[in-house]
């Protein structure tokens, strides 16, 4: 405390981070929150700290309530997803018909396959407005596509799009819609077998910068930023989720737009029967846009 901190964070962090000696690297800033890369539980363990700063123009009581709701909604969705397939008795709300679950994602287990493909919640403080999650290694899908090796076979891109569709399908099957699906909200994490010693070693290697993925589109798709996620199994919400992704993809990756069908195809496959209904609904949503008209 005697020395001034080496790099003062841009904004005042909430306690206990305001007196921390760790480094905070500002990764992203939105209207709602600031995202920092820092460490958690061990100096060797990188973590993402999402801070929702106070909005001074709002009434303090309202501000507290909204912040609390939003931090908790995000954390609850993440914890729910991280319990996919291991929580005894399905955990809370039942997701459609379990039989239908088995229709989808047969290639890789389906149920529970999403666990590990979302960041783990490590800590939160809904009163102070912060959430710490596991740090996801790798680049965003957006960057991955921008940097991709154009000489490579088109099949590589199609493979990636297929994995995106599959993950979104698993997410919807788990009873969650993301609310802001874009290629910036998906990470391309170097593949590793989770939960093994090799995993720990891979982490250590990544720490030392020995493993770098560049130009390739390999890796697990990990969904991030569940700030707008909601628990829903409605076809409309699912279709809008896909529509948002479709539009975002088209504008972020115009050259690849034509291959977006690959995402929808894989989505349909991993979702099974309910997926067909959602894809039909998507056509309606395309005709009218994201917002359902409340007129007439």
- From the list 50, 70, 128, 172, which residue makes contact with another protein (rule: CB under 8 A)? 128
- Which position among 134, 241, 262, 269 is part of the footprint of another protein (CB under 8 A)? 134
**2 interacts with another protein by CB under 8 A:** no
For another protein, the binding residue among 27, 29, 37, 39 (CB under 8 A) is 39
Distance of alpha carbon 73 from alpha carbon 266, whole angstroms = 28
The residue within the footprint of another protein, chosen from 194, 215, 250, 289 (CB under 8 A), is: 194
Site for another protein in 98-117 (CB under 8 A): 115-116
Range 48-87, binding another protein (CB under 8 A): 72, 75-76, 78-79, 82-83, 86-87
Q: Which of 149, 180, 220, 235 is catalytic?
A: 180
Beta carbon nearer to another protein, 39 or 259: 39
Q: Does 6 contact another protein by CB under 8 A?
A: no
The length of the chain, given as a count of residues: 296
Q: Has 149 been annotated as catalytic? A: no
Closest separation in Å from C-beta 210 to another protein = 23
Helix (H, G, I), strand (E, B) or coil at 249: helix
Which of 269, 217, 263, 222 minimizes the C-alpha distance to 242? 263
Contact segment (CB under 8 A) with another protein among 33-41, 51-59, 153-161, 214-222 equals 33-41
Say how many C-beta atoms besides its own lie within 10 A of residue 102's C-beta: 13
Distance of CA 215 to the CA centre of its chain: 22
Of these, 43, 209, 258, 296, which contacts another protein (CB under 8 A)? 43
Check residue 89 for interaction with another protein (CB under 8 A).
yes
Residue 216 found at the interface with another protein (CB under 8 A): no
**Site membership for another protein, residue 296 (CB under 8 A):** no
Residue 164 three-state SS: helix
CB of 155 to another protein, least distance (A): 31
CB 48 within 8 A of CB 27: yes
Asked if residues 82 and 121 have their Cβ atoms less than 8 Å apart, the reply is: yes
| Among the listed residues 174, 295, 177, the one whose alpha carbon sits nearest the alpha carbon of residue 243 | 177
Cα separation, 219 vs 272, in Å, equals 24
Q: How far is CA 263 from the centre of its chain?
A: 16
Could you tell me which stretch among 41-49, 59-67, 183-191, 276-284 binds another protein (CB under 8 A)? 41-49
Cis-peptide into 16, omega within 30 deg: yes
Q: How many CB atoms lie within 10 A of CB 6?
A: 7
Interface pick for another protein out of 38, 183, 185, 270 (rule CB under 8 A): 38
From the CB of 222, what's the least distance to another protein, in Å? Answer: 12
- Over the range 109-118, which residues count as b (16 or more CB within 10 Å of their CB) and which as e? ebbbbbbbbb
Nearer Cβ to another protein (50/128): 128
CA atoms within 13 A on the CB side of 28: 13
Can you give the binding site for another protein, defined by CB under 8 A?
Answer: 15-17, 19-22, 38-43, 72, 75-76, 78-79, 82-83, 86-89, 91, 115-116, 120-128, 134, 194-196
Catalytic positions are 180
């Amino acid at each position: 405390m005697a020395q001034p901190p080496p790099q003062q964070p841009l904004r005042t962090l909430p306690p206990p981070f305001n007196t921390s000696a760790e480094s905070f690297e500002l990764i992203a800033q939105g209207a709602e929150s600031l995202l920092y890369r820092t460490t958690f539980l061990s100096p060797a363990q990188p973590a993402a700290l999402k801070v929702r700063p106070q909005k001074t123009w709002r009434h303090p009581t309202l501000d507290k309530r909204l912040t609390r709701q939003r931090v908790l909604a995000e954390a609850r969705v993440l914890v729910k997803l991280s319990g996919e397939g291991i929580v005894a008795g399905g955990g809370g709300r039942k997701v459609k018909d379990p039989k239908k679950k088995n229709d989808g994602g047969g290639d890789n287990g389906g149920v529970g396959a999403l666990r590990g493909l979302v960041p783990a919640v490590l800590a939160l403080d809904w009163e102070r407005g912060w959430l710490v999650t596991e740090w996801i290694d790798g680049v965003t899908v957006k960057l991955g596509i921008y940097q991709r090796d154009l000489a490579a076979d088109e099949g590589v891109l199609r493979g990636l799009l297929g994995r995106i569709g599959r993950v979104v399908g698993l997410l919807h099957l788990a009873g969650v819609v993301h609310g802001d699906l874009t290629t910036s909200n998906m990470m391309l994490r170097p593949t590793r077998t989770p939960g093994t010693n090799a995993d720990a070693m891979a982490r250590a290697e990544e720490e030392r910068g020995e493993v770098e993925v560049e130009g390739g589109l390999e890796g697990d798709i990990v969904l991030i930023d569940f700030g707008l996620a909601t628990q829903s199994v409605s076809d409309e919400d699912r279709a809008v989720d896909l529509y948002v992704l479709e539009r975002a993809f088209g504008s972020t990756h115009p050259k690849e737009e034509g291959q977006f069908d690959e995402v929808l195809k894989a989505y349909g496959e991993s979702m099974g029967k309910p997926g067909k209904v959602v894809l039909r609904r998507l056509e309606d949503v395309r005709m009218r846009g994201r917002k359902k008209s409340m007129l007439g």
